[in-house]
A = this chain, B = another copy of it.
Amino acid sequence: MTDSPLLPVNDALNRILSDFAPLPAEPVDLFNAAGRVLAQDVVSEFDLPPFDNSSMDGFAVHAADRPLSDDGAPVVVKVIGDIPAGVQPSLSLLPGQAARIMTGAALPEGADCVVPVEDTDFPYRESRVLPETIRITRFPAAGVNVRPHGQDALAHQPILRSGQVLTPPAVALLATLGLAEVKVHRLPRVAILSTGDELVKPGQPLPPGHIYESNSWMISGLAAQAGALPLQLGVSPDQPDAIRQRLNQAIDAGVDLILTSAGVSVGVYDYVRQVIEEDGQLNLWRVNMRPGKPLAYGSYRGTPLMGLPGNPVSAYVGFVVFAGPAIQRMAGLPAQPRNLRRARLEHDVNSDGRESYLRVQVRSGPDGLSAALVAHQGSGNLLSIVRANALLIIPSGVKSLPAGSEVDIWLLADSYSEVGA
Q: Which A residues are closer than 8 A to B by beta carbons? A: 1, 30-31, 34, 46, 48-51, 55, 57, 84-89, 100, 102-106, 117-118, 124-125, 128, 147, 151-153, 159-160, 165, 167-181, 196-204, 206-215, 217-222, 224-225, 232, 238, 262, 265-269, 310-312, 316, 336-337, 339-342, 375-376, 378-383, 385-386, 411, 414, 416-417, 420-421
Cα distance, A102 to B211, chains bound together (Å) = 14
Cα distance, A267 to B122, chains bound together (Å) = 12
> Across the interface, do A57 and B266 meet the contact criterion of CB distance under 8 Å?
yes
User: Closest CB-CB distance, A20 to chain B, in whole Å?
Assistant: 19
Contacts of A168 in B (CB 8 A): 217-222, 224-225
> Across the interface, do B151 and A378 meet the contact criterion of CB distance under 8 Å?
yes
Cα distance, A311 to B312, chains bound together (Å) = 48
Residue of B106, B118, B211 near A208 (CB, 8 A) is B106
From A222, which residue of chain B is reached at the shortest CB distance?
A: B168
> Across the interface, do B153 and A383 meet the contact criterion of CB distance under 8 Å?
yes
Contacts of A197 in B (CB 8 A): 84-87
> Across the interface, do A172 and B106 meet the contact criterion of CB distance under 8 Å?
no
Cα distance, A132 to B414, chains bound together (Å) = 51
Contacts of A268 in B (CB 8 A): 57, 100, 102, 124, 128
7 other A-B residue contacts (CB within 8 Å) besides A174-B202, A336-B417: A1-B118, A86-B210, A88-B209, A152-B376, A168-B218, A176-B382, A180-B202
Cα distance, A221 to B35, chains bound together (Å) = 9
Contacts of A87 in B (CB 8 A): 197-198, 209
User: Closest CB-CB distance, A1 to chain B, in whole Å?
Assistant: 7
Number of chain copies forming the complex: 2
From A57, which residue of chain B is reached at the shortest CB distance?
A: B267
User: Closest CB-CB distance, A221 to chain B, in whole Å?
Assistant: 3
Cα distance, A136 to B80, chains bound together (Å) = 103
Cα distance, A100 to B221, chains bound together (Å) = 35
From A106, which residue of chain B is reached at the shortest CB distance?
A: B209
Q: Which of A86, A220, A224, A417 has the most CB of B within 10 A?
A: A86
Cα distance, A267 to B337, chains bound together (Å) = 48
From A124, which residue of chain B is reached at the shortest CB distance?
A: B266
Cα distance, A416 to B100, chains bound together (Å) = 45
User: Closest CB-CB distance, A230 to chain B, in whole Å?
Assistant: 10
Judged by DSSP, the binding face of A is loop
Ordered by A's residue number, 18 sampled pairs between the chains whose C-beta atoms are within 8 Å are A34-B225, A50-B211, A55-B380, A85-B196, A85-B269, A87-B197, A88-B209, A104-B211, A106-B208, A117-B266, A152-B376, A168-B219, A173-B382, A176-B211, A179-B202, A180-B203, A181-B203, A337-B420
Contacts of A416 in B (CB 8 A): 339, 411, 416
Contacts of A153 in B (CB 8 A): 383
Cα distance, A117 to B197, chains bound together (Å) = 20
Cα distance, A29 to B268, chains bound together (Å) = 35
Contacts of A89 in B (CB 8 A): 209
Cα distance, A219 to B172, chains bound together (Å) = 9
From A232, which residue of chain B is reached at the shortest CB distance?
A: B31
User: Closest CB-CB distance, A82 to chain B, in whole Å?
Assistant: 8
User: Closest CB-CB distance, A79 to chain B, in whole Å?
Assistant: 13
From A417, which residue of chain B is reached at the shortest CB distance?
A: B336
Cα distance, A203 to B310, chains bound together (Å) = 49
Cα distance, A385 to B160, chains bound together (Å) = 13
Cα distance, A106 to B210, chains bound together (Å) = 8
Contacts of A269 in B (CB 8 A): 84-85, 102
Contacts of A340 in B (CB 8 A): 420-421
Cα distance, A267 to B411, chains bound together (Å) = 47
Contacts of A49 in B (CB 8 A): 211, 380
Contacts of A177 in B (CB 8 A): 202, 212
> Across the interface, do B169 and A316 meet the contact criterion of CB distance under 8 Å?
yes
Contacts of A125 in B (CB 8 A): 266
Cα distance, A215 to B168, chains bound together (Å) = 10
